[in-house]
Amino acid sequence: MAIISNTVNYLDGETLLEAFFAYDDSFAGRRPAVLISHAWRGRDQFVDDKAQELAKLGYVAFALDMYGQGILGQSTAENAALMQPFMDDRQALQQRINAALYAIKRLPWTDDSKIAAIGFCFGGLCVLDLARMGANIKGVVSFHGLLMPPPQTNSTNIQAKVLALHGHDDPMVTQEQVQAFMQEMTQLKADWQLHHYGHTMHAFTNPEANDPEFGTVYNAMAEQRAWQSMQNFLSEIFA
């Protein structure tokens, strides 16, 4: 097994974006592909590492870029400033992540009929919006993602299966938002799941998260359970 990885540029309008992709070259032909949407900081080593892990599982993995080539927040304030325009304009958010979907389809190893997307924190919201816009993909997985819907949802039905992995003690997602998300998914006739992890806060998959006052704390057991749930989900939707 040899994992091949590199970066690739793609466009959303006039904005130049840079993704990181990885795949196992011991597999012949096209194979299922997984988009990976980063947290509010930007495309960093965390999601690049997830791409490597997914490549080892036999997928084409594509760590997308929501902000632009080389743009990476260096503080909480910078991260918030990068994310907020997309929170304010969900149509722009959906257009940006749809550009990544177009880009991954152009990779020669991608099976266009078997594409999924996963995302972390802000990235969880991004992949949920990809599903909400009616994207023709197999499924999306949100890891401790923001759950609030856009002002308008383009699709009356969601084609992608939905898995949301949520820390019960996440202060950035209220219980009211959780209830509203379940109602939204039901009304949109989605095939949805929501897994709650007890005693678990925001950013529970990130080993560098250690700020209880801010609400971001790593939880190794929740991370392990969530990653296993994702693997089971991908196996199901790509069967």
217: nearest Cα among 230, 199, 231, 192? 199
Question: What is the model's pTM?
Answer: 0.97
Has residue 5 been placed in a domain?
A: no
pLDDT at position 28 is: 86
d(CA 138, CA 130): 11
Has residue 2 been placed in a domain?
A: no
In a 13 Å sphere around the CA of 106, the CA atoms on its Cβ side amount to: 11
Has residue 86 been placed in a domain?
A: yes
Residue 153 has pLDDT above 70, yes or no: no
The answer for 27, left when phi > 0, alpha when psi is -120 to 50, beta otherwise, is beta
In CATH, what number is assigned to the domain containing residue 123?
Answer: 3.40.50.1820
Q: What residue spans of the chain are helical by DSSP H?
A: 45-56, 76-88, 90-105, 122-132, 175-187, 220-237
Has residue 3 been placed in a domain?
A: no
Has residue 176 been placed in a domain?
A: yes
pLDDT at position 114 is: 98
Has residue 150 been placed in a domain?
A: yes
pLDDT at position 152 is: 75
178: nearest Cα among 153, 200, 146? 146
How many structural domains is the chain composed of?
1
Residue 154 has pLDDT above 90, yes or no: no
pLDDT in tens, 26-36: 988 999 999 99
110 contacts 60 by C-beta, under 8 angstroms: yes
Confidence of residue 182 (pLDDT cuts 50, 70, 90): very high
Residue 206 has pLDDT above 90, yes or no: yes
Report the Cα 210 to chain-centroid distance in Å.
21
Has residue 4 been placed in a domain?
A: no
d(CA 167, CA 145): 10
C-alpha pair distances (Å), 21 with each of 52, 55, 109, 118: 8, 9, 11, 14
User: Domain residues for 59?
Assistant: 11-237
Has residue 149 been placed in a domain?
A: yes
- The dihedral of CA 63, 68, 73, 77: what is its sign? negative
149 contacts 209 by C-beta, under 8 angstroms: no
d(CA 143, CA 98): 19
Report the Cα 21 to chain-centroid distance in Å.
14
pLDDT in tens, 93-144: 999 999 999 999 999 999 999 999 999 999 999 999 999 999 999 999 999 9
By DSSP bridging, strand 210-211 and strand 161-167 are unpaired
